[in-house]
Structure 1
């Protein structure tokens, strides 16, 4: 069983970024010179995935425009001799086969994943990359999970350790260690309080999931927040087949909030070959003036 499809849910309202998200989906906000969605699609493509299903809200046109070709812009770049930029934007529209599905009602992450069911075969597994989570790593995060999947042929949840004070923000997994990085899941809890959390292994926006999850999601009742929770569905899946969690390598940014988005922007700007050096000098100058 090979992983050739990915689901990227981005249907949230982005209220933490209002007022800009009144007109622009938050996943289209730029991190240096590319929107967050670009980093996610790029990660999937660099992991060998050829077909991507993006679950959107009602405002999907900016996303479609970004990944579609723009003949007017291409002609302008040709006429002005900017052929390097021409190749760059043409590459964006040919990254992968991308489908857009509208989530008519925002009923939770589990429901968003369920919206992709018509693209999946009965017995296959697929990747999930959450729209708020940008992961910077030497090996793409989803590629790391795919390698584990290839060994175990089981659903894999991407996790990292978080401070105990932050466990209430995440789905938390517990179980027994197979290796230093791999845990066979015993239990999953959605956003537990610090005192009752079974561990500090937090689910951080990357999954490989067997298509049996769709039958579970169809019958699942709303959980935390009155929404269909993917964590609850994975807990049910774990009753009938093995589920593992893998502590992936890389830096994960929660770009769904302002501070996380700024951290990602600063770190990636510092790594940018064209502006990194000058930006670093600017930051040094600014911080020295603030002392």
Structure 2
């Protein structure tokens, strides 16, 4: 499980609507597996590094994954260097590489495929430098199997993962966005109307891509949380979320923590959306 990003700047919140729910949708390769590092990147990476240092067993591997692990590391380094050229560099001379991450004070020479030239396993090394959790999968017997994962929280078991399969070339990236509710500490029964905004929404963003050298599938996952009070400051978001909650089937609502709080949350969101729109209208009239 990835460490959640608590959003104070709503511009960084990956608002999931009107994207289709529970389905991977294609995105451009430039908008792929590495997301916004954010102003808290150094602090987030320090937390991940501490987690890996405390428990090296957080890196779970099945057999014969070394080529895919190197493929994933080099792919992510390339993306980071392309997206953040002022902070990160990847240089290559044959099988010799130099990786620079100025934000974390890293300047590392290494030989591709030679684990002795890195301070740690390739997935741990890159896993301490990206905000997302990384999962490597291979297609076997009509299913995807989870072969490697450096998870900064929790220890997922390596087991057959029944995800859908689709033709996926190395120039394609797919995104999936899921969301759930986390109730306030007071609990739903004890909450009054003014407290519904304290409920937090957790949004999980996953990217699926095929790695260029080995053809292994890589999923990167990152979670964000924001309170309903913050979300409701954008009237359109409040209405969209209210519509989405109302349309959820009962079993999906239960899995997302919406079954108990759904009706009052919908009413609260619609009231706030109306109030926000009225405030904006009054401001326009005054101007």
Question: Do they fold alike, i.e. is TM over 0.5?
Answer: no
Q: TM-score range by the shorter chain?
A: under 0.3
TM-score with structure 2 setting the length: 0.26
TM-score with structure 1 setting the length: 0.26
| Structure with larger Rg | 2
Q: Which has the higher helix share?
A: 1
